[in-house]
Amino acid sequence: MTTPVTHDEVESVFEILERGFGERIPSAYRQALRKATIPDRLLVSRDGAEIAGTVTSEPAQMTLPGEVVAPVAAVVGVAVLPTHRRQGRLRSMMRYQLDDLRARGEDLAVLTSSEARIYQRFGYGPATLASTYRLEKRDLSLLWPERVDLSGVAVRFVERDEAERHFPPLLAAHQPTRAGEVSRLRLGWEDLLGVTTEDEQKGRFFVECVQAGEPVGYAVYRIGRDPGVSGRVLHLVELCALRDSSYLALWSYLLEVDLVDTLVTGHRPTDEPVRWLLSDPRRMVPLRTGEHTYARLVEVAASLAARGYFCDGELTVAVTDPFCEWNTGRYHLSVEGNGTAAVERLPLGGAADLTADVSVLASLYLGGLRPSALAQIGLLEAASPRALATADRLFLGPVPPFSTTSF
């Protein structure tokens, strides 16, 4: 049975997270987690008096195609005890949560998943991709075009307290510039910057890019040794740049850090442009490329109307949603002039230009996947090549969607 948590049970939920993920939560993080928890969004699966699973959500903001920043429910803390799996508990919690989000008027939900294909049966679809890279940086340099001018741009170290003041406004200013960006959740900054203990801070470095006295970007990294890798490794945890100049200055700094042979990134865009400035582009090796953010259209009509589109056109989409039956139906999109769609729900049973499961529509939603590519492998059905071409023009964004944040 899934129910909301009671006030006295919040501490017990942390134990479920520890056992479910197989990792103890340090006391400082537990305290931060307690402050970040919103009790009326925290759900638990019960086995009699015992709590056997948990899921919660937080209100956040996500940038949609067309530089539209919209409210979204960020789903986090999903765990079921290893002793209680294969009992339908995750399904029950997902069912309860989606009903709850709908009742709250929250039309979109997003999450990140530790494993693939867990959440597609609940209508979530992979909507952004990310890559991690390794650069063997010995004798690697940037070949600057003559037009690049970094005069007046500087990179400086900052301590944690200054990073805590300066970095959140920089990320917030960056968020509207790319579809898929999700605002960082309250506990996220503790994850990125570390709590303020000496043990947590000794391995972290924070740098800020400044231009004309104004912060315009930052990077967070660690330096250490990895098993099986000779020499020291710089782990780039996060990089955020508001300008082309700050992007270049931060990458230039990272590639010039002394006494480091290898640079390994956290998740970065699949179209990372710095590769094409490297003296040897082949030294930037993708370690992994895969799905990062999953999206769920809680209310299909409202979600389709919320995002922007990239050309004028009309399209009728038939959506099947076995998990949230209220979405199953036909939707007519009409885009004219300003990239905004008028969305009308039509009666069932008529003709449609596209037919797709709601999870497939969610994968198209942020503009990162081409409808014609998914039709080619049977994930959606098109009434005609012309309808498919219209769908490509309407949905596909100019750059791949990406989320700097994880949650």
User: Computed over its alpha carbons, how large is the radius of gyration of the chain?
Assistant: 23
Q: Is residue 161, in this structure, part of any structural domain at all?
A: yes
Say what the pLDDT of residue 8 is: 83
Say what the pLDDT of residue 228 is: 72
My answer on whether 58 and 142 are in the same domain is no
Residues forming the active site: 119, 407
My answer on whether 71 and 203 are in the same domain is no
My answer on whether 359 and 220 are in the same domain is no
Say what the pLDDT of residue 248 is: 97
Q: Please give the helix or strand (H or E) that residue 248 lies within, else none.
A: helix 244-255
Q: Is residue 117, in this structure, part of any structural domain at all?
A: no
Sequence letter at residue 272:
E
Average pLDDT over residues 217-226: 94
Share of the chain above pLDDT 70, in %: 99
My answer on whether 171 and 202 are in the same domain is yes
My answer on whether 256 and 332 are in the same domain is no
Q: Is residue 119, in this structure, part of any structural domain at all?
A: no
- Band (pLDDT 50/70/90 cuts) for residue 197 is low
Average pLDDT over residues 251-270: 96
Closest CA to 396 of 65, 55, 7: 65
Say what the pLDDT of residue 198 is: 64
- Of 33-42, 181-190, 385-394, which has the strongest mean pLDDT? 385-394
Say what the pLDDT of residue 12 is: 87
Residue 346 has pLDDT above 80, yes or no: yes
Tell me the three state secondary structure of residue 140.
Answer: coil
Say what the pLDDT of residue 31 is: 82
> Residue 234 sits in a domain of what CATH number?
3.40.630.30
My answer on whether 223 and 304 are in the same domain is no
My answer on whether 102 and 189 are in the same domain is no
Judge whether 216 and 150 are in contact, CB under 8 Å: no
Domain-terminating residue out of 253, 272, 291:
291
My answer on whether 379 and 255 are in the same domain is no
> Residue 382 sits in a domain of what CATH number?
3.30.1050.10
pLDDT in tens, 299-336: 999 999 999 999 999 999 999 999 999 999 999 999 99
Q: Is residue 401, in this structure, part of any structural domain at all?
A: no
Q: Is residue 120, in this structure, part of any structural domain at all?
A: no
Judge whether 36 and 187 are in contact, CB under 8 Å: yes
Domain of residue 23: give its range. Answer: 2-106
Torsion angle of C-alpha atoms 108, 114, 115, 117, degrees rounded to 10: -10
Say what the pLDDT of residue 186 is: 81
- Band (pLDDT 50/70/90 cuts) for residue 28 is confident
Q: Is residue 116, in this structure, part of any structural domain at all?
A: no
Say what the pLDDT of residue 87 is: 95
Residue 199 has pLDDT above 80, yes or no: no
Domain-terminating residue out of 267, 291, 315:
291
Q: Is residue 319, in this structure, part of any structural domain at all?
A: yes
Q: How far apart are the first and last CA of the chain?
A: 26
Q: Please give the helix or strand (H or E) that residue 381 lies within, else none.
A: strand 380-382
My answer on whether 252 and 196 are in the same domain is yes
My answer on whether 92 and 165 are in the same domain is no
Q: Is residue 92, in this structure, part of any structural domain at all?
A: yes
- Band (pLDDT 50/70/90 cuts) for residue 6 is confident
Rounded to the nearest integer, the mean pLDDT of the chain is: 94
Q: Please give the helix or strand (H or E) that residue 174 lies within, else none.
A: helix 160-174
Judge whether 5 and 39 are in contact, CB under 8 Å: yes
Count how many domains the chain has: 3
My answer on whether 88 and 38 are in the same domain is yes
Domain-terminating residue out of 291, 308, 325:
291
Tell me the three state secondary structure of residue 372.
Answer: helix
My answer on whether 281 and 313 are in the same domain is no
Residue 66 has pLDDT above 70, yes or no: yes
